[in-house]
Amino acid sequence: MNKKIIVILLALIILLPICASAQEKRIGLGFGKPTTVLTFSYDPWVGKLAYDFTKGHQFLFVAGSYTLINSRPIAGPFTASLGVGGFARFEFEDDSDNSFGANIPLSIEIPMLDDFVEIFLEFDPGLELLPKPRMTWKSTCIWLGATLRLD
């Protein structure tokens, strides 16, 4: 478990300089699968830290992505975003079930209050690359949440 915390802290330290030069900064909270996600958006980069509270199946999920299409209007107040990224999933009970892979974050947003608040629904289909390449429901994430603009 200590190795996992060190890896996460190193990743955050590496991302901080990238985040400081971002044009738009957002922070948010979402709920779904995994249970809870904290999201940081530093346009065009997005980072996510999630934890699943399900008893007997607890894990930590860390993801990062690059936004290719950001808040493109689709209908009425709705906008859509599309990105490409990667994830790491660290199981607490069984280290052999840890996984690393790639994902394609797709979200629909509703900006409100002059884009200060944004409600989002995000679907991240994932492809596990390690320990072996496979597509499973376990590597897919779905969240409903909100972000606040920080700048």
pLDDT along the chain (151 residues), means of 10: 56 54 82 88 88 79 91 92 92 79 95 95 92 84 94 77
Report pLDDT for 26.
Answer: 92
User: What is the per-residue burial (b if ≥16 Cβ within 10 Å, else e) of 85-99?
Assistant: bbbbbbbeeeeeeeb
Q: Give how far Cα 74 sits from Cα of 24, 80, 109, Å.
A: 21, 7, 10
Domains of the chain: 2-149 (2.40.160)
Entry pTM? 0.81
Report pLDDT for 15.
Answer: 56
Tokens of 65: 């992505």
